[in-house]
Amino acid sequence: MLLSVLYIIGITAEAMTGAMSAGRRKMDWFGVMLVASATAIGGGTIRDILLGHYPLGWVENPQFLAITCIAGVLTTGIAKWIVKLKGLFIRLDALGLIVFSIIGTKIALGMGLHALICMVSALVTGVFGGLLRDLICRQTPLVLHEELYASVALASSGLYLVLINFSVNDVTATIITLVAGYTLRMAAVRYNWRLPSFNYDTETPFH
């Protein structure tokens, strides 16, 4: 229940960031809805396809798709205000990341999959929507060289799995993971924590 409310907040915020990227590419309303939806529910879609977990969430509950399309189009009218709310969006995005990660973990867990795959499921749910957005808008995916992001999804998923494994009840495990994951992500943004990066500048591609 808590997770459902947070999920709707999360996809709305992600849809709006997707729409902003579409605006930088001068897309029309269809493009805006496409990028908004891909950003918000693309991660969950790719997860379900990889796990063979049918029907997809938005196919079963089309209202989620309607929400992301409406949020995307609304964004075109209030873009100036959204830019000023960047601080809020960073917080909502952090919240969405943890919510998506917990949902991804729970779905894989419910299918009886290996803990490593549960963590991959969290990662895909939390991160691949933004990757899709950057791919469609032809931006270099920020998640691949910015502050800790994918790592936060993995860490949150791992924490949730440990808690469940120690027989902590689901609601408590969810709340602890939400608080810890959100705190980790916001700390990473504030203190600019990054993974080591790999910069190998060969003249020609190495294949």
Which residues would be at the binding site for a copy of itself (CB under 8 A)? 17, 19-32, 34, 45, 49-52, 54-56, 59, 62, 65-66, 75-76, 79, 82-83, 86, 89, 93, 113-114, 116-117, 120, 130, 135-136, 138-146, 149-151, 194-202, 205-207
Residue partners of 25: CB distance under 8 A and separation at least 6? 31, 137, 138
Minimal distance, residue 115 CB to a copy of itself, in Å = 9
Minimal distance, residue 203 CB to a copy of itself, in Å = 10
Q: Which is nearer to a copy of itself, 144 or 179 (CB)?
A: 144
Q: Which is nearer to a copy of itself, 168 or 193 (CB)?
A: 193
Q: Which is nearer to a copy of itself, 122 or 174 (CB)?
A: 122
Residue partners of 17: CB distance under 8 A and separation at least 6? 39, 89, 93, 133
Q: Are 118 and 31 contacting, i.e. CB atoms less than 8 angstroms apart?
A: no
Residue with tokens 């997809």: 56
Q: Which is nearer to a copy of itself, 9 or 31 (CB)?
A: 31
Minimal distance, residue 134 CB to a copy of itself, in Å = 8
The DSSP element (H or E) to which 190 belongs, if any, is helix 170-191
Query: 91 by DSSP, 3-state: which?
Result: helix
What is the number of other CB atoms lying within 10 angstroms of the CB of residue 54?
9
Minimal distance, residue 169 CB to a copy of itself, in Å = 27
